[in-house]
Amino acid sequence: MNRNLSGFLPPFFLVELARRNPTNTSYLETLVQTQKLWLKGEQTFLPFGKGKSDRFSHDAENKEDLPGKLVRGENDPAAKDELINRAHQFAQEIRDFYKTHFNRNGPDGNGDNIVQTMHYGLKYNNAYFSVQMVYGDGDGDIFMTFMIRDVAGHEIGHWFVSTTCKLVYWKESGALNEHMADVLGVCLNQWVAKQTVEQADWLVGAGLFNPKLTGCRALRDMVNPGTAYNHPRLGKDPQPAHMRDFVDTWSDNGGVHYNSGIPNRAFALFAKSLGGYVWEKALQIWFGTALRASSNCTFQEWADLTVKVAQANYPETVDKLKTAWSTVGITVK
């Protein structure tokens, strides 16, 4: 199964928002717009140059035409629109991140251009990646912005996954797909800010919600899954933090956005146990695992692979890695 109808906000969350906020039609409209984006992506409407990984930032002007009006090419001067400038900056940071830490020519490794569009649709409550990056402006009520670095890093992280292990978007392999995207987004944030694992907040999508909504820190919390938000207008963060609470469901492609909290916590705890910077060892182990994992990889298989990679490259980390997996209910023999 492919990640076709899901942007940064999972469909079940948008449906829950529509149920709790019946006068706001933008949440259900976002689902329809996301389906349109997937169909456009299936048509491969954008030509991608090879070998340059150049940035092209567009303005949809709140329409649904893609890619929209080109505002900034790779070396063009800053635009008047600060959101476009921010997205252009994020694209550079993402490109540099993959080059610096993975020696990779862009997220896909082939140097395909990073094409992105801002101001997509009217009150589009999502960020989405198919063959290009698309940002909505949000409804200005619950969602203030999707122009957030780790959101961009997460969505483009799916591009990386699709060109490495190609994790099938269903049940445990799908949850690992979401997990790896979260890891890449959060690690990007820490790298740009030069934060140690102790300084980092380990939140995914901090700044997404209206600050007036108390108890809503982010969409996900990697250290403490299930605690990122809790509000009558949103519901409660449903992510489990341990295998005993694994969500067995047919919805959400078998619970991919729910159960990603389990490996998220293992990674965050492992990185924190090592100290220092996440990209020094923890991220390298996960990158090596992604290169070796099968498309139908389970949590157990992923955990086993991380230990094999650690043993080969950073043997001094193995005990702490096994402890992190054990903490979430996965025993590596």
DSSP E strands, the chain: 55-59, 69-72, 114-118, 127-129, 133-135, 203-204, 220-221, 230-231, 235-236
Measure Cα distances from 148 to 26, 56, 205 in Å.
20, 18, 7
Q: Any catalytic annotation for residue 242?
A: no
Kindly state the helix (H) or strand (E) to which residue 316 belongs, with its residue range: none
From the candidates 88, 119, 179, 257, give the one annotated as an active-site residue: 257
Give the three-class secondary structure for 196: coil
Kindly state the helix (H) or strand (E) to which residue 32 belongs, with its residue range: helix 26-42
- Tokens representing residue 41 in the block: 């992506």
CA pair distance 296, 52, nearest whole angstrom: 32
Measure Cα distances from 221 to 118, 163, 213, 300 in Å.
26, 26, 17, 22
Contacts of 150 (CB under 8 A, 6+ apart): 185, 186, 188, 189, 203, 204, 205, 206
Q: What are phi and psi of 133, to 5 degrees?
A: -90, 135
CA pair distance 190, 272, nearest whole angstrom: 13
From the candidates 58, 88, 154, 155, give the one annotated as an active-site residue: 155
Nearest to 139 by CA among 238, 40, 62, 60: 62
Q: Any catalytic annotation for residue 119?
A: no
Q: What are phi and psi of 185, to 5 degrees?
A: -65, -45
Kindly state the helix (H) or strand (E) to which residue 149 belongs, with its residue range: helix 149-162
Catalytic positions are 155, 257
